[in-house]
Amino acid sequence: MTSLPEPRQATIAAVIPCYRVKAHILSVIARIGEECSLIYVVDDRCPESSGQYVLDHCDDDRVRVVFHEENQGVGGAVLTGYRQAIADGATVIVKIDGDGQMDPSWIPALTTEIVMGEADYAKGDRFYDRESVSGMPGIRLFGNAVLSFLIKFSSGYWDIVDPTNGFTAIEATVAATLPHAKISKRYFFESDMLFRLGSMRARVVDIPMPAIYADEQSGLSIRKIVGEFMAKHTVNTLKRILYTYYVRSFSVASIELLAGLLLLLFGVGFGASTWIRNASVGLQTSSGTVMLAALPAMLGFQLVLAFLSADIANVPTRAIGRRLRLIRPKFAGGAVAGAVMPRVVRVTPRTGVSAEAGVSRPA
């Protein structure tokens, strides 16, 4: 039997998607500790020219500024950073926002389990500390609670407390194996990432940390995205259940769900149609008819609950990164191979900026 690869010496890279973060970006970079060997500032066609601002005012030689010709959204910027970090040999990749909401001093805590080979993806948990939650704006607290419930269904990660948190770290082999072209590029990015990771059976862990809210402005409108998010979560939930319980495997839980839904739909449908028909002609529904509708509905409901219990117990508990390195030692996945890299500019302390080999500095 082939043994698994031993844990590697970690090379940690930080990816910072930039869009309207000029006021905070230099402070965020300055607070990133020596544990990060590389820092990728991805200018997502920022109207404030955040990337150029970093080139003009930052002398940290770990920094690489990546420029998008067109705005791709936060997900597109993060995936670009992933690909560049993988190409440069990073083993763990951290995503941190450029607006100052996330404290870079928590990067070591965020990456520890991944470096040790015990997790594939780690994310911040702002709900662990009651004081941190009390400082969170009410609309965000409510929105996160609703989205968290939807993401549990669509991803299968029932043990994740704060699924919408964007302060994350990922094992590089896992990042390379993800279907980059299929992942949502805008506000649905974090949710879709968990769905894709769940499909891979990757292990995801929460890392308790405080939330920071200052003068940043969010471009997310709850009214505009609620319908879109509901539709996408519904589609992802159906895909996950179909693939997990009827394509990749078939278990007692598969039977429980199928039988439970059929019985529940029959009981509710038969009972409702009978009641409406009898009420329209003034007839009283007999107790036998009521029981004929109620028993299948109750049994179906119990079977669906049994399925949910089995689904909750089916959360991935083993990291897959080391196994993926065994079969894809050179990140040969389709996500990276053949990908077109945007132009990258490297900050140097002595000359200010210099163009990387094979790319050109933006005009």
3-state secondary structure at position 262: helix
Which among 40, 69, 68 is positioned nearest to 54, based on CA atoms? 40
Let me know if domain 12-223+316-355 sits in CATH 3.40.50.150: no
Rounded distance between C-alpha atoms, residue 187 and residue 361, angstroms: 29
Strand runs labelled E in the chain: 12-18, 36-43, 63-67, 92-95, 121-125, 168-171, 204-208, 343-348, 352-355
- Compute φ and ψ for 234, nearest 5 degrees: -60, -45
How far apart are the two ends of the chain, measured CA to CA in Å?
A: 55
Amino acid at 242: L
| Cα 218 versus chain centre, distance | 18
CA angle 158, 114, 79 (to 5 degrees): 80
Which among 242, 225, 297, 237 is positioned nearest to 265, based on CA atoms? 297
Per-10-residue mean pLDDT, the chain, length 363: 57 95 94 96 94 93 94 94 94 94 93 95 84 66 79 92 88 94 90 95 92 56 70 94 94 96 95 89 85 94 97 94 75 49 70 47 37
**pLDDT on residue 339:** 57
5, 13, 320, 333 from 325: Cα distances, Å: 7, 18, 9, 11
3-state secondary structure at position 50: helix
**pLDDT on residue 280:** 86
Domain ranges of the chain: 12-223+316-355, 247-312
What is the DSSP-derived secondary structure letter of residue 157?
-
* pTM, 2 dp: 0.85
DSSP string covering 190-257: HHHHHHHHHHHT--EEEEE-----SS------HHHHHHHHHHHHHHHHHHHHHIIIIIS---HHHHHH
Residue 112 near residue 94, CB atoms below 8 Å: no
**pLDDT on residue 137:** 66
Rounded distance between C-alpha atoms, residue 288 and residue 68, angstroms: 68
| Cα 111 versus chain centre, distance | 16
**pLDDT on residue 243:** 95
Structure tokens at 252: 């007692």
Q: Side-chain half-sphere of 334: how many Cα atoms within 13 Å?
A: 4
Q: Let me know if 201 is exposed, middle or buried by CB neighbors in 10 A (0-12, 13-18, 19+).
A: middle
Amino acid at 217: Q
